[in-house]
Amino acid sequence: MRSLITAIGRLLQGFYQAVTRFPLTAICLFSSTALACHIISLHRTPELIVQKLMFVFLLGSFIGVTAQFACERFSYRGKQRGGVYGLALILILLYYFSIANVIAIDYEVAAKTMVAVFAMFCIYVWLPSYGNENDFNTVALIHSKSALTSVLYAAVLSVGLALLFATIDVLLFAVDSDIYGYMMVIVWISFATLSYLARLPYFHADARSVVEAGQFPRVLEILVSQIAIPLVAAYTLVLFSYFIKIGFTGTWPVGQLGPMILAYSAVGLILFVLAGRLNNKIALLYKLIFPKVLIPIVGMQLMSVYIRLQAYGVTESRYYVALFGLFSLVIGFILTLRPRINNGIIALLAAAFAIVSVVPPVDAFTVSRISQIGRLEQILTEAGMLVGGQLEAKPDADFTVRRETTNILQYLERRGYLGQVAWLPEDFSPYRDMQQILGFSPTYSHTPQLGEFFHVSLDLQEPLSIAGYDVLLQVTSHRQ
């Protein structure tokens, strides 16, 4: 019993230290938890302002950690620390004002926020190693161990509490089903995050704690050296075999290669950082070979992406696949030419590339919008349907023209870009207006040619009179 009380006391003390060390992050976490509980209680889609505040607090929590690590790295105290936190608050406010006028939390808002969160994460992981003050590999290992431990604790706690509530519901009294949602929110937003932060040492003031926290677990060493690295090596052989196949067949991939190599590069770089602390033969060989192998593999990926971009234009997913490929290529060259460089360059460049991808006019969404509108104009112009900025209906347009026009118009509609196409009528809707404006209805790859099939149906919401008849039968007919 005494040991349990001691453990709980240490846990609460760790939470208190995390709250006082990362005050801005703690405020954002508690606010997010309260809003999430409010959303659960509504049993409906929350108000737009609530959705916006959730995103603000999400980004704010990461900005808060970044601000604190900046203060610790540069020994800012008093007014200097207040200035850093003031700058952090300004960044949070700027983000809020950037989404204040949006009419919905759409894909663009969510994607840009996630990219900004990723950039903040990379920066605060990199900061303790700035100027070689700390070994980046050690810092990354400490973050990884802290995160994995916190996730494990949160998972055990959430399962245990769920079973406890279920038992009470069965044996004692009815438990409101919302309590499960409240519990998960509190455990995973507040408890797990504060537990993670509480395990991070003061990297610049407590060298002993850094050494203790940076011990490489034997289990992790086995996982990295004897399982993960051999798997990456096998994956590398498969990729090179595929490239040899391409050389013989002359057939380029149709899009599946990009995501595969993206995952390969991401996992490979994470392993490269984790292996930086290891000195066994497998780890040393991996650190020597991987950067050199990464260059031709990513080069092949970029060629594949280029072919896709030439054929179908830029979309957000292709933009990020290409951007990550470029990032991996740069990292491959840097680690090959300067093998002793601080691996923190990986996190720093990742943050830089992420920030570039959300800053107009080179952000993913602006580039994609311009590319797809330009591609649509080219298709319609070549088909004789866009002349001098004026649309001309063409009912007998080629099937490929109809299909590609449909795909692009629906993409622009999903992103809310139709209003920026000058030659389209105001309030244009592909489903409603394509037949009238372009001369053909929406067309898809699976759309049959005219006359091959027919489908007839009645409005099931309207009553159907059977006066003069004895029975009503439901019949479905398909003709070819």
Strand bridging mode 386-387 / 390-391: antiparallel
What integer pLDDT is reported at residue 249 of this predicted model?
Answer: 83
- The residue-averaged pLDDT of 326-340 equals 93
Q: If phi over 0 gives left and psi between -120 and 50 gives alpha, with beta otherwise, what is residue 141? A: alpha
- The residue-averaged pLDDT of 115-128 equals 94
- Asked whether residue 98 carries a pLDDT value surpassing 70, the answer given is yes
CB 179 within 8 A of CB 34: no
Q: 375-422: per-residue pLDDT in tens?
A: 999 999 999 999 988 898 888 889 999 999 999 999 999 998 998 998
Residue 155 lies in a domain: yes
Closest by CA to 187, choosing from 159, 148, 149, is 159
Residue 443 lies in a domain: no
pLDDT band of 480, cuts 50, 70, 90: very low
What integer pLDDT is reported at residue 448 of this predicted model?
Answer: 55
Among 42-56, 81-95, 208-222, 434-448, name the one with the lowest average pLDDT.
Answer: 434-448
Q: 49-81: per-residue pLDDT in tens?
A: 999 999 999 999 999 999 999 998 888 888 888
- Asked whether residue 92 carries a pLDDT value surpassing 60, the answer given is yes
- The residue-averaged pLDDT of 16-20 equals 91
Residue 49 lies in a domain: yes
Residue 476 lies in a domain: no
In this structure, the answer to whether residues 68 and 162 fall within a common structural domain is: yes
Closest by CA to 379, choosing from 396, 402, 410, 412, is 402
In this structure, the answer to whether residues 101 and 126 fall within a common structural domain is: yes
Provide the residue range defining the domain that includes 409: 367-438
Among 39-53, 350-364, 418-432, 462-476, name the one with the lowest average pLDDT.
Answer: 462-476
Q: What is the DSSP string of 139-189?
A: HHHHHHHHHHHHHHHHHHHHHHHHHHHHHHHHHTS---THHHHHHHHIIII
Mean of all residue pLDDT scores within the chain: 89
In this structure, the answer to whether residues 91 and 162 fall within a common structural domain is: yes
Q: 421-449: per-residue pLDDT in tens?
A: 989 988 888 888 898 899 888 888 765 55
Residue 446 lies in a domain: no
Residue 283 structure tokens: 């780890």
- The residue-averaged pLDDT of 221-243 equals 92
Q: 124-149: per-residue pLDDT in tens?
A: 999 998 887 788 999 999 999 999 99
What integer pLDDT is reported at residue 27 of this predicted model?
Answer: 96
What integer pLDDT is reported at residue 65 of this predicted model?
Answer: 96
pLDDT band of 452, cuts 50, 70, 90: low
Residue 388 lies in a domain: yes
Q: Domain boundary residue among 301, 332, 359?
A: 359
- The residue-averaged pLDDT of 88-105 equals 93
Residue 13 lies in a domain: yes
Q: Which residues contact 82 (CB under 8 A, 6 or more apart)?
A: none
Q: Domain boundary residue among 194, 213, 232?
A: 213
Q: Which carries the bigger pLDDT value, residue 8 or residue 216?
A: 216
- The residue-averaged pLDDT of 291-315 equals 91
In this structure, the answer to whether residues 201 and 326 fall within a common structural domain is: no
Q: Residue 226 has what DSSP assignment?
A: I
- Asked whether residue 478 carries a pLDDT value surpassing 70, the answer given is no
In this structure, the answer to whether residues 76 and 199 fall within a common structural domain is: yes
What integer pLDDT is reported at residue 3 of this predicted model?
Answer: 72
What integer pLDDT is reported at residue 207 of this predicted model?
Answer: 79
- Asked whether residue 343 carries a pLDDT value surpassing 70, the answer given is yes
What integer pLDDT is reported at residue 2 of this predicted model?
Answer: 72
The CATH number for 22's domain is 1.20.1070
High-pLDDT (> 70) share of the chain, %: 95
What integer pLDDT is reported at residue 38 of this predicted model?
Answer: 94
- The residue-averaged pLDDT of 206-221 equals 86
pLDDT band of 19, cuts 50, 70, 90: very high
What integer pLDDT is reported at residue 211 of this predicted model?
Answer: 85
In this structure, the answer to whether residues 322 and 345 fall within a common structural domain is: yes
Contacts within 8 Å (CB) and 24+ apart, 136-139: 136/273, 136/276, 136/342, 136/343, 136/344, 136/347, 137/273, 137/274, 137/276, 137/277, 137/343, 138/210, 138/214, 138/277, 139/203, 139/214, 139/344
- Asked whether residue 475 carries a pLDDT value surpassing 80, the answer given is no
Residue 263 structure tokens: 């995952």
- Asked whether residue 299 carries a pLDDT value surpassing 70, the answer given is yes
- Look up residue 433 and give its amino acid: D
* Total of domains in the chain: 3
